[in-house]
Amino acid sequence: MTHPVVAEASRHGVIAVLRAPSPDAAVEGAEALIRGGVRALEITYSTPDPASVIRELDRRHGQDVLLGAGTLTRPEQAAEVAEAGARFLVSPGSVAEVAEAMRATGAAVMLGALTPTEVMRAAQLGADVVKIFPASLGGPAFLRALRAPFPDLAFMPTGGVNPQNLADWFAAGAVAVGAGGELTPARALAEAAWDDVERSARRFTDALGAVRSAQP
């Protein structure tokens, strides 16, 4: 059975991957993204104390924003961020101990993979979504090729996604895309350039709107 959060992530289309230099910067960056129309947020463990960020954003927005946590590399991280309000958990790879801890929370599980063998491993470990990372290495054509042997898996490419190629990723079969540096530039987060983050979010939401209006 498909995890309900997968359908919600698909409705949002774009998941912002937020790597901020401080918890305060992460919260303010998230608010700028929300103002720009991006309401699915992955707060990564590259950000100091991501659980506090998720807890604050959950307090402010509740179910109006889809909150998740990313860059999970240790089992104990899963419960920490799930208890803070993360509804989906993302790991850059597919490690059994980490995947098991992620599944135990009841949150949607997104495991990283690149090769067909890694995709099979992620599916075996119970991934609700397979995160193709770094997707920039193969581009949309690579995702399309992967979907041939794995038509029933949900894929989320992350890395190298931008407004210009958004349509190509969805045409290749992505259920959603993860966008990091193109959406939340490190410079903007470091310099508190929140207007820049909001403008970036609007470029993505405009591109997503164009993709959806073109669909039959």
> Hey, which residues does 132 pair with through a beta bridge?
113, 157
Q: Using N-to-C axis directions, what is the helix angle for 75-84 and 50-61, rounded to 10°?
A: 20
Q: What does the DSSP 8-state code read for residue 135?
A: G
Please pick, among 80, 131, 182, 198, the residue that the annotation labels catalytic: 131
Containing H/E element for 108? strand 108-113
**What gap in Å lies between CA 129 and CA 175, rounded to an integer?**
9
Q: What does the DSSP 8-state code read for residue 184?
A: S
**What gap in Å lies between CA 26 and CA 32, rounded to an integer?**
10
Of 84, 91, 69, the residue nearest 19 (C-alpha): 69
CA atoms within 13 A of residue 156's CA, in its CB half-sphere:
33
Peptide bond into 134 cis (omega under 30): yes
Please pick, among 42, 80, 182, 198, the residue that the annotation labels catalytic: 42
To the query of whether residue 56 is one of the catalytic residues in this protein, the response is no
Helix and strand tally (H, E) in the chain? 10, 8
**What gap in Å lies between CA 88 and CA 125, rounded to an integer?**
16
To the query of whether residue 42 is one of the catalytic residues in this protein, the response is yes
Of 147, 210, 146, the residue nearest 14 (C-alpha): 210
Catalytic machinery residues: 42, 131
